[in-house]
Structure 1
Amino acid sequence: MTPAARVAAAIGVLDDCLSGTPVEKALLRWSRGSRFAGSKDRAAVRDHVFDGWRRRRSAAHDGGRDTGRGILIGLLRQQGVDLDTLFTGQGHAPAPLDPDEKAGRGDTPTAATRVDLPDWLWDRFQADLGPEAETAALALRDRAPVFLRVNPRRGSGAAALRALAEDGIEAVAHPLVEGALRVVRGARAVSRGRAYAEGLVELQDAASQAAMARLPLRDGQSLLDFCAGGGGKALALAARARLDVTAHDISAARMRDIPPRADRAGVRISVAPHLDDQRADLVLLDAPCSGSGTWRRDPDGKWRLTPDRLAELARLQAELIDRAARHVAPGGSLAYATCSVLAEENAAQVAAFLARAPGWALRDKMQWLPGADGDGFFLARFDRSG
């Protein structure tokens, strides 16, 4: 495919997204119907689509229309691309720009449009994050860095960097998080490389790594990962100390990769689809949330979230905190985590739990905002009296 044909394909995928199709499903639908497209073509179309979808509002404004074509015109204009070299109408290229598209819009975008958030969410960002709201919102418009976690059970950071380099992957140490690496070249090859296959590294965002590193651990401690999902955080904790780790999730299917991941990492994690009245020294609740700290990875999230859905998530989080707290042993700790930057899911949940749960004390809290050093992430650790 030519560069222009890739743009035309991305326009079609974005139109599918605008009709209500989730971005990953829209890309899969295009890919299945475009067997002629090679791996580089699929990667290029995917990049166009995700870049455009992250910047849906500002790109549509700069492109003059809230359509796939308008979004791509605006996105490429933001990137400084010469549009006349791509919009030629020749072969599989999109049609040439009309006079209105060439002129662009002359009005000033609203603040919410400029930072690519729905109006109501921009209001929440300002209320919750204050002077940091704009920086956080703008960070969500760009592609997320790829971070790896070095697994000390399998080797050192130096050994991981050497193994990655052998596979043509260049990485550098994170300036703030010990054991975290940022991939600067060859990110798409990580899962095929020796470092990953041998358990030297795991894909994990640096903010998540930083949060897990804040939790105090000791050998012999019992850990319950209450909403484990794929078990990434349980793996990070199990790599730091000799723990008795149990992973639990309401969906057993979400945990199916935990055993092979644990084997690769050289740690032991028991999978428990059902829990009785067992208790643990440390219970980790990585709660379902808006994902507002990770929207650059999942831009569908910010366009699909509604105030009603956010309120529903907050109710679920409160219920899960209470349920998880019942599994904490006397003298133990509860760690509540989200990948959100919204106070309703973070600080408000902390205050509400402390108000209704005597015998608990807040011992640590961390709010990491999205940026070059990681995604948005929140952690609060509560200690239970003995």
Structure 2
Amino acid sequence: MTPAAQVFSASQILQEILDGKRAKSSLQQWSKTNRYAGSKDRRAIRDFVYDSLRIKRSALSKIMAPHSGRNWAVGVLLETNEDLEKYFNDETYASPRLTDKEKFAIQKAKEYKSPPDEEFNVPAFLWPIWTADLGDEAVTVAKTLCQRAPAFLRVNIRKTTIEKAQKILSGDGIQTVKHPSIITALRVTEGQNKIKNCMAYKDGFVEIQDASSQASVIDLPRDSNLKILDYCCGSGGKSLALDAWTEGKIFAYDISPDRSFNLKTRAERSNAQITKISKPIKEMFDVIFCDVPCSGSGSWRRDPDGKWKLNAHSWKNLLNTQIEVLNEAKELLKTDGILIYATCSVLLSENYKQLEKFCSLNPEFEIKKAHQFLPSDLGDGFFYGFLKKK
């Protein structure tokens, strides 16, 4: 496919997204119905779609016309200073040339001054919270979230060493460098698309996991022989990391069991001993890890679709759910236990302020430590805090 044909196909997917379809399902459906497309074409189209999602609001503001997949693609190309005639040229499988009306709409948009939430691609309702919570970092963080995220791996140090994992990965054409501060993390510098088919991944030597997320696990004692509950386990990434790092007994629970349907397979691949449990939970635990539902704002580089699904109503529900999860989990905590609260968010409102709110509602608890990561070349935005009884 030519670059123009790739953009044309991407614009069709963008239209489906505007119509309410999830990006992932639209891309999967496109691949099924266009089997002639090679892996490079599918990758280029996927990248264009996700790049477009990251800058959705600013891109759509580049042409003063009704929202459409075509206009969205035009806006993305304008933002990256591309020659529109290269992509809209009436060639076979490409988009038709821009009409005089469209050219006028593009010129008209140049007279329009975007509000900051649109310019920096943050949901409009969230912008006042964003600026209040992030202060001087608000614009920098918003801009960073419009870029592609680096890829990280977690080395399963229960099965191998960092150096051995790197050697195995290199043999499959995947080059990595050690993270400067998170000892289990490798940043992928080459061969990212080969990871799920490489020997190191298939044999459980590495897992795909962001570095900032790994940091919350390695803050626990390395040799801790503790009873640990991953209370919002999802697909089990934290459960696997906890098993690899500690000497503890790992239990996994999620309110929606379907989310952890493949945890058994992942655990077998990693030689991890993880016990899935369901309510009622009658046991007590030394450590309870609550990676709670959140805005996902720290990982919008990876899931830009999630940014635009967030609204004022779902935001309010998330804040309530986060406190509810902590209140449920505290009932399962041993007297001298550690309650860990974590989000993939950059916002004070659902991070440290939630710890303070929880402690005000449960004065027997206190914040022992907390850490906020902002998105960068070293990882996603992520927050975690340790709570203990006084």
Greater CA deviation, 80-89 or 358-367? 80-89
Report whether the alignment pairs 1:167 with 2:168. no
Alpha-carbon contact 1:63-1:75 (below 8 Å) kept: no
* 1:167-203 CA distance string (max 9 Å, x none): 1111111123222111111111101101111221110
Greater CA deviation, 177-186 or 98-107? 98-107
Residue equivalent to 1:106: 110
Alpha-carbon contact 2:217-2:241 (below 8 Å) kept: yes
Q: What are the residue-to-residue correspondences of 1:218-233 with 2, within 5 Å?
A: 218-233=223-238
Report whether the alignment pairs 1:23 with 2:23. yes
Instruction: For residue 80 of structure 1, report the CA deviation from its aligned partner.
Output: 3.1
Residue equivalent to 1:147: 152
Instruction: For residue 71 of structure 1, report the CA deviation from its aligned partner.
Output: 1.8
Report whether the alignment pairs 1:90 with 2:91. yes
**CA–CA distance in structure 2, aligned partners of residues 135 and 245 of structure 1:** 38
**CA–CA distance in structure 2, aligned partners of residues 177 and 74 of structure 1:** 38
**CA–CA distance in structure 2, aligned partners of residues 211 and 138 of structure 1:** 25
**CA–CA distance in structure 1, aligned partners of residues 220 and 136 of structure 2:** 29
TM-score by length of 1: 0.95
Selected match of 1:372 from 367, 374, 377: 377
Residue equivalent to 1:308: 313
Alpha-carbon contact 1:64-1:74 (below 8 Å) kept: no
Residue equivalent to 2:300: 295
SS in 1 for 2:370: strand
Instruction: For residue 95 of structure 1, report the CA deviation from its aligned partner.
Output: 1.0
Alpha-carbon contact 2:221-2:246 (below 8 Å) kept: no
**CA–CA distance in structure 1, aligned partners of residues 382 and 35 of structure 2:** 39
Report whether the alignment pairs 1:41 with 2:46. no
Instruction: For residue 63 of structure 1, report the CA deviation from its aligned partner.
Output: 4.2
| Count of aligned positions | 385
Residue equivalent to 2:81: 80
Residue equivalent to 2:70: 69
**CA–CA distance in structure 2, aligned partners of residues 241 and 36 of structure 1:** 47
Report whether the alignment pairs 1:189 with 2:190. no
Instruction: For residue 252 of structure 1, report the CA deviation from its aligned partner.
Output: 2.1
Q: Give me the identity figure in percent.
A: 39
TM-score by length of 2: 0.94
AA aligned to 1:61 is S
Instruction: For residue 101 of structure 1, report the CA deviation from its aligned partner.
Output: 4.4
Selected match of 1:253 from 253, 258, 263: 258
SS in 2 for 1:372: coil
SS in 2 for 1:172: strand
Greater CA deviation, 203-212 or 79-88? 79-88
SS in 1 for 2:233: coil
Alpha-carbon contact 2:145-2:300 (below 8 Å) kept: yes
Instruction: For residue 126 of structure 1, report the CA deviation from its aligned partner.
Output: 0.4
Instruction: For residue 30 of structure 1, report the CA deviation from its aligned partner.
Output: 2.2
**CA–CA distance in structure 2, aligned partners of residues 56 and 219 of structure 1:** 45
**CA–CA distance in structure 2, aligned partners of residues 355 and 215 of structure 1:** 25
